[in-house]
Amino acid sequence: MFGYDQKPGTKYQFDWEPDVRGYAIPVTLINGIRPGKTVLLTAQIHSGEYPGTVALIRLAQKLEPSQVSGRLIIMPLVNISGFYARTHAVLPEDGANLNQNYPGSPDGSPGERIAHCFATKIFPKVDFVLDLHSGDVTETLTPCLFYSDIMESQILPIARYLRVPYLIRSTATTGHYSWPGHHLKIPGILLERGHGGRCLEHWVEEDQRDVLSCLQALGVLPACHLTPYQDQWIMRHSVYLESRHSGLWYPKVEAGQFVKKGQCLGYVEDHFGNLLERYEAQADGIVYYYTHCLAILKGQPLAAYGVVTEMAQIKKHG
């Protein structure tokens, strides 16, 4: 993998070029001293989502082969060009969303080639994917976790140790964490924490803690004080609300808020202050995130919430 020696007890840091000329993703490869799983840790799939990036950089510095069983592949800056260009989520070279365009293409645009490299060269050699995200520059978000619906039996025993209240079952099939699950049967988690293009220290520390808990639960690191989080819910059904107009968006909810069916989530007005549409909750629910940006275009996300009648509390065992 990557052309580097994989003998036990080695650690390498280098730039990897995913078949895109001049595009270099920083990688830390840690080959443990004992056999075990290979885990891929990624962040900055979407540019502007920062806490996970800092958390992985710090963990890459801290972790040593003597602590590891198996192998860690740590990539804190996958969308590195977007990171420095400060683009809104996407790859600046072609506008690709690296969480929606798998399996990509070897002959396509830069984003398609990056996805194809992961799909053919990285994912087939790993046993688990942990992808760190945040609410992006225009969003306010409560901590939550997304996982592929077909991977539930493999994900829940790991997710129970992460300090996130909402485990959201997803039917997505083309994302950085979901494509490997659906096509290669490799379990993956998308962990969301932080929002608004900010990088608060406590978000970074909480991301580090959850990554370490995940690695302990997978047996890659020794289990130290590994205890289940006591307030977790599986969200079986979610509503992703998009604007049907371009205009000015006025949200009336907060992330993590409980809303009742029929409650106003917000409204969109035109440039003269005339109401274009009022958006109401379709069912009782918990708000995961909402757009806090005043400007909104038709088709852009307004808010997302989980339906309370289809949520189940995690049962703790041990």
Both tokens of 245, joined, read 């107009």
Do 240 and 210 belong to one domain? Answer: no
Distance CA 96, CA 107 (A): 14
Pairing status of strand 311-313 against strand 233-235: antiparallel
Q: Say if 2 falls within a structural domain.
A: no
- List the CATH number of the domain containing 261: 2.40.50.100
pLDDT at 111: 97
Residue 156 lies in a domain: yes
The answer, yes or no, to whether residue 315 has pLDDT greater than 80, is: no
Do residues 247 and 179 share a domain?
A: no
293: containing domain:
236-313
Domain containing residue 73: CATH number: 3.40.630.10
Residues 91 and 183 in one domain: yes
Measured between its terminal Cα atoms, the distance across the chain in Å is 37
Query: What is the mean pLDDT of the segment spanning 94-108?
Result: 96
- Give the confidence band of 70 by pLDDT, cuts at 50, 70, 90: very high
If asked whether residues 155 and 279 sit together in one domain, one would say no
* 212 & 279 share domain: no
Residue 171 lies in a domain: yes
The single-letter code of the amino acid at 55 is A
Indicate whether 318 belongs to any domain. no
For residue 40, being part of any structural domain is answered with yes
Torsion angles phi and psi, residue 312, rounded to 5:
-130, 135
Q: Is residue 4 part of a domain?
A: no
Same domain? 66 vs 170: yes
Residues 285 and 262 in one domain: yes
Of the three residues 169, 199, 233, the one that is the final residue of a domain is 233
Which of 229 and 311 is assigned the larger pLDDT? 229
Phi-psi region of 68 (alpha: psi -120 to 50; beta: other; left: phi over 0): beta
Digit-coded pLDDT (tens) for 20-53 = 989 999 999 999 999 999 999 999 999 999 999 9
Q: What is the pLDDT of residue 317?
A: 42
Whole-number Å distance between alpha carbons of 227 and 162: 9
pLDDT band at residue 2 under the 50/70/90 scheme: confident
If asked whether residues 112 and 218 sit together in one domain, one would say yes
- Indicate if 137 and 279 belong to the same structural domain: no
* Same domain, residue pair 250 and 294: yes
Angle at 294 between CA 288 and CA 299, to 5 degrees: 65
Last residue of a domain, one of 204, 233, 262: 233
| Same domain flag for 192 and 110 | yes
94 and 133 in one domain? yes
Place of tokens 């609300």: 241
* DSSP letter string, the chain: -TTS---TTEEEEEEE--SSTT--EEEEEEE-SEEEEEEEEEE-SSBT--HHHHHHHHHHHH--GGG-EEEEEEES-TTHHHHHHT-SBS-TTT---TTT-TT--TTS-HHHHHHHHIIIIIGGG-SEEEEEE---TTEEE--EEEEEGGGHHHHHHHHTTS--SEEEEE---SSTTHHHHHHH---EEEEE---TT---HHHHHHHHHHHHHHHHHTTSS---S----SS-EEE--EEEEE-SS-EEEEE---TT-EE-TT-EEEEEE-TTS-EEEEEE-SSSEEEEEEE--SEE-TT-EEEEEEEGGGEEEPPP--
- Model confidence at 318, in pLDDT bands (50, 70, 90)? very low
Phi, psi for residue 94 in degrees, rounded to 5 = -145, 5
Cross-strand pairs, 296: 247
Q: What is the pTM of this model?
A: 0.95
Q: How many domains does the chain have?
A: 2
Assess if residue 5 is contained within a domain.
no
Last residue of a domain, one of 233, 254, 276: 233
- pLDDT tens digits for 167-207? 999 999 999 999 999 999 999 999 999 999 999 999 999 99
Structure token digits, residue 276: 């274009």
